Amino acid sequence: AQKVTQAQTEISVVEKEDVTLDCVYETRDTTYYLFWYKQPPSGELVFLIRRNSFDEQNEISGRYSWNFQKSTSSFNFTITASQVVDSAVYFCALSRIIQGAQKLVFGQGTRLTINP
Amino acid sequence: ETGVTQTPRHLVMGMTNKKSLKCEQHLGHNAMYWYKQSAKKPLELMFVYNFKEQTENNSVPSRFSPECPNSSHLFLHLHTLQPEDSALYLCASSQDPGLAGGYNEQFFGPGTRLTVL
């Protein structure tokens, strides 16, 4: 069975602090993809990053960075120098292909609040 | 219009009503999805359509009936819903991963906030 666990339900930090959102996944597939999405108050999920199971290189995009550790089945997300606009619910997701279409299994989400 | 659009954005209906949610994608994708997002629960995949064919029905009750007339449009027909069906219903689309040789991210619409009285 596939499962994604985001143990942190809510995180609240002061602006400019660094914050890490944890994601742990379970899968028996050898090929899979991991995603992070951001859901601002407007409701739509915004794609942030995709990482495949064969690429364990960490990635940095501006203030965002991702740490993929296959040995611990984790795909953590760090925001450096957080800003109020980063406030949102963040979802980690695991993907597999079923009959040609992509099936995403989401974690519970972490509600991040950045206080001024 | 660009991206994925959903109408209506908000819907209040009684348990005996029949209504439909509409999703349209302007991205040239060929896979479309319906998700349900309830409070304090993970997003739940409901239906998947790939090239207009339904490839996934995730044990969804028959009071939810999807329709995909073409690769750009997806509907969710609702009838005799229950109050526990109140949720945010999200539509998404993606490029068929087979054509691109990998897994492609899904692009989401803003959702329809449904309240069943």
Q: What is the pLDDT of residues B1-23, one digit of tens each?
A: 569 999 999 999 988 889 999 99
* CA of residue B68 relative to chain centroid, distance: 10
A106 and B42 in contact by Cβ < 8 A? yes
pLDDT band at B105 (very low <50, low <70, confident <90, very high): confident
Contacts of B108 in chain A (CB under 8 A): 37, 44-46
Share above pLDDT 70 across residues of chain B, in percent, rounded to a whole number: 92
Q: B66 — contact with chain A (CB < 8 Å)?
A: no
B50 and A100 in contact by Cβ < 8 A? yes
User: CB-hemisphere CA count at 13 Å for A29?
Assistant: 17
Give B24 to chain A, closest Cα distance, Å. Answer: 14
- The pLDDT of residue A96: 75
Lowest mean pLDDT, pick from A40-44, A84-88, B100-104 = B100-104
- DSSP 8-state secondary structure symbol assigned to residue A94: E
pLDDT band at B101 (very low <50, low <70, confident <90, very high): low
Determine how many CB atoms are found less than 10 A away from the CB of residue B115. Answer: 13
For residues A87 and A49, give the distance between their C-alpha atoms in angstroms, rounded to a whole number: 17
pLDDT band at B51 (very low <50, low <70, confident <90, very high): confident
For residues A47 and B37, give the distance between their C-alpha atoms in angstroms, rounded to a whole number: 17
Helix (H) or strand (E) holding B97, with range, is helix B97-100
pLDDT exceeds 60 at position B60: yes
Contacts of B33 in chain A (CB under 8 A): 101
- The pLDDT of residue B41: 81
Give B31 to chain A, closest Cα distance, Å. Answer: 7
A50 and B103 in contact by Cβ < 8 A? yes
